[in-house]
Structure 1
């Protein structure tokens, strides 16, 4: 089954060229099944790139999915034209009365700012609480995961001595988690962050699912909160880390070469993607688990 995204969304052309099955509104209306309602709260500056990355993974499922693009209400984007946002995005205020089978909260490039000093933090608090009542299962990514762990569980984050940057081998810890079915024992996963989570601040309600003893925790499960927290970036495409490195170099930052990305460390060569299959597996497992457990009646979610 295909993914249904807003008509005329620029990501459509990229997805179709990659063989992702995309559906328009007319075709979706003819199918006599209830599609899964998935929301994507996109906090990243480059909205188009991020929405394409997640649509690519969500669209690989055999289920029909309606993807709603969401942005915070109290924030003006510096990198995405307002007309684009008005055309393809809804503010959280516009969707807060809705219910979703699944909801994704992305990262945001504000790692050095204390949570309470983020300008849209009051709205983020409302959104996070809302996921507990209006969403069947939520996936928090990178900064979104750090924020939710801080809010729901009082987990402490701290700044590492140096930026964890590159593609690193991780270890599957939560062997019985349905979200990890089919993943190899030691997947390679892209990482780009300055902060880590203090392990001694984790409560008993959190389960470590994917770990790396050198650079920190990767994925945590929260069954009672119907959520997973993914601190790294399986959604990244081939050039994500390379482009970030080139941007930092141009800005004069002392960013190290991303580990295990360029063949033989040659920055002129095209990066190798060694995480794509694991990304698809994780998102297919997540969507399948939602499909198996979500109420047929959307209005029953959260009750």
Structure 2
């Protein structure tokens, strides 16, 4: 939570120059407080694992958050029990009349397919179109980020020569971005994907900017100019054993796969992985919740209306 200080206190300018968030008394007394309403569109086949990972990151904050879980009806889940889905998940038809402070769109293991070949693509397009007018801030993860950049801005994903698989160092490109407030000069995050959207393509869209990159892994984070849409290509929410589980799964299936980079000590898969991304992952989600949702979302969500109007020249009109 921010510290509240007098507006004229000299420390205010010093702290703000160091990218430390402070709240003036004037702003504090004008704030209304209510629980945040957050929706997670879970596109992963192992939904319970993804729920655990994301909820762990979102729970470590003093904010009160009401979580809703969303599934697509145009795809039948084969890896999650129907009783779990019927008990805890809702459908787009059930929520499309509501408004939310935040939305998370997860990744999905469909990178090697064209977007239009994914069986729930049209439903996802409807949800992404709806997010512009019914959600204050949307966080897109991995394939969800690639799908969002394609749908909203027409940016096509590109195949990599081999799977990007491991834990990679990154750096931020702008000093005072609240999303990376408190980060070290170099931070690590896991990646697991076969495709990418390049920094050059993202920079070609005037309303987008690249926020963090890796020399080896490419773009880590990008955002719309008003920060209402965030796109991340990595998985800061991954558990310590997630990459190991993917590696041994593929080995067991006879699928060619390299040992995940910078993960097992000495690249020896018999050893316990070293976790060097957990604190930054936690900080990333806390920063998104605090600075991109809680501090900026309207108290009355009906005020969202057309605040996220379609981007001129985007793919929206052609794919929705």
Q: Which interval holds the TM-score relative to the shorter structure?
A: 0.7 to 0.9
Match 1:297 to one of 292, 296, 300:
300
What is the CA-CA distance between 1:298 and the residue it aligns to? Answer: 2.2
Q: Structure 1 residue 209 and structure 2 residue 216: aligned?
A: no
Residue aligning to 2:40: 40
Aligned equivalents of 2:209, 2:176: Cα separation in 1: 11
Aligned equivalents of 1:68, 1:200: Cα separation in 2: 35
Aligned equivalents of 1:151, 1:216: Cα separation in 2: 21
Residue aligning to 2:235: 233
Q: 1:70-219 maps to which residues of 2 (within 5 A)? A: 70-202=70-202, 203-219=205-221
The DSSP-based 3-state class of the residue aligned with 1:293 is: coil
Larger radius of gyration: 2
Specify every segment of 5 or more residues in structure 2 that has no aligned partner in the other structure, as ranges.
2-31, 307-320
Contact 2:168 2:216 in 1 (8 A): no
> Comparing 213-222 with 121-130, which one deviates more in the overlay?
213-222
What is the CA-CA distance between 1:201 and the residue it aligns to? Answer: 2.3
The DSSP-based 3-state class of the residue aligned with 1:84 is: helix
The DSSP-based 3-state class of the residue aligned with 2:282 is: helix
Contact 2:198 2:219 in 1 (8 A): no
The DSSP-based 3-state class of the residue aligned with 2:129 is: helix
What is the CA-CA distance between 1:180 and the residue it aligns to? Answer: 0.8
Q: Structure 1 residue 263 and structure 2 residue 265: aligned?
A: yes
Specify every segment of 5 or more residues in structure 1 that has no aligned partner in the other structure, as ranges.
2-31
The DSSP-based 3-state class of the residue aligned with 2:295 is: helix
Aligned equivalents of 1:104, 1:174: Cα separation in 2: 24
Contact 2:199 2:210 in 1 (8 A): no
What is the CA-CA distance between 1:225 and the residue it aligns to? Answer: 6.6
Residue aligning to 1:222: 224
Residue aligning to 2:20: none
Aligned equivalents of 1:201, 1:259: Cα separation in 2: 26
* Change in CA separation of 1:174 and 1:73 when aligned onto 2, cut-off 3 Å: farther
Contact 1:174 1:207 in 2 (8 A): no
Aligned equivalents of 2:212, 2:97: Cα separation in 1: 34
Aligned equivalents of 2:177, 2:255: Cα separation in 1: 39
The DSSP-based 3-state class of the residue aligned with 2:139 is: strand
What is the CA-CA distance between 1:112 and the residue it aligns to? Answer: 0.6
Aligned equivalents of 1:67, 1:234: Cα separation in 2: 19
Aligned equivalents of 2:209, 2:174: Cα separation in 1: 7
Structure 1 length as normaliser, TM-score? 0.87
Contact 1:174 1:180 in 2 (8 A): no
